[in-house]
Amino acid sequence: MADHLPAFNHIEPGIVTVRRDDSLHSVPLNRTVHLTIVLPPDYQQSTGAYPVLYLNDGQDLPRLKMTAVLDSLYQNNSIRPFVLVAIHAGDRIQEYGTAAQADYLHRGSKAGLYTDFVLTELLPYIKKQYRVSSEPSQSVFAGFSLGGLSAFDIVFHHPERFSRAGVFSGSFWWRSKSTADGYRDETDRIMHNLVRKGRYTHHLQFWFETGTEDETSDRNNNGIIDAIDDTIDLIDELVRKGYDRSKDIRYVEINGGKHNQETWSEIMPDFLTWAFPHK
């Protein structure tokens, strides 16, 4: 880990401050991990540590209109100030997934290495270079699609580091068998199995979003697309594990919502006010 100051530059004006940080080289991933850091309005004038949101697919911030979303929320005092650490994806099909197991096509083969990067390199680097809290209660991880699966997996299995996960159109179909090999919902969805085998942690909370037009696939022909079925089934697993459906879980289903950054941008204020409510 480099000891020098991060090589960032100011990208655009606004209420928030956006910086590009290209100083973090990951040993397990064997690449430089590009970061976009978004600092809250009062960051330069304050001395305290801030809550932090780690976000997969950080290269998508422009399509998410994230600076405009944040500027609006801060203007309206809708959220408490936090630092956003947007992690640009590398080989996302291999690095995102479930750390314990790749899928039946061996996708997600580097998910364990990505988790190692997050825990042993990213968190210490951010703590050293920016004024963020390292308390689990102040640390949130979120992502979209396969990046949402990754974020959920990391938070669920590392409650000593995080307290909340945000999942936009999560790839909870991630499976250990193909349909040609006798795949069954009840036994072969990887994240559902990991939740069943995992443990309940009292402080964890989860936010999920799906769109009714996330996809068209309907494996069991029940008239509900798989993206919704898989997410609701995962929520049911969490409830069976001990999580309170009303207190620990928020589920937002968007009528007409699609599997794209435009839909995710529109619902972003709901997630951010849930994750960082104004006190």
Contact 168, 260 (CB under 8 A): no
Question: Is it the case that residue 1 has pLDDT exceeding 80?
Answer: no
Q: What is the pTM of this model?
A: 0.94
pLDDT of residue 222: 94
pLDDT of residue 180: 87
Amino acid at 240: R
185-217 pLDDT per residue, tens? 999 999 999 999 999 999 999 999 999 999 999
pLDDT of residue 32: 98
Question: Is it the case that residue 102 has pLDDT exceeding 60?
Answer: yes
More confidently predicted of 277 and 8:
277
SS (H, E, C) the chain: CCCCCCCCCECCCCCCEEEEECCCEECCCCEECCEEEEECCCHHHCCCCECEEEECCHHHHHHHCHHHHHHHHHHCCCECCCEEEEECCCCHHHHCCECCECCCCCCCCCHHHHHHHHHHHHHHHHHHHCCECCCHHHEEEEEECHHHHHHHHHHHHCCCCCCEEEEECCCCCCECCCHHHCCCHHHHEHHHHHHHHCCCCCCCEEEEEEEEECCCCCCCCCCCCHHHHHHHHHHHHHHHHCCCCCCCEEEEEEEEEECCHHHHHHHHHHHHHHHCECC
Question: Is it the case that residue 82 has pLDDT exceeding 50?
Answer: yes
pLDDT, averaged across the chain: 94
- For residue 154, what pLDDT band results from cuts at 50, 70 and 90? very high
Euclidean distance between CA atoms 61 and 261, whole angstroms? 9
pLDDT of residue 278: 86
Question: Is it the case that residue 3 has pLDDT exceeding 60?
Answer: no
pLDDT of residue 14: 65
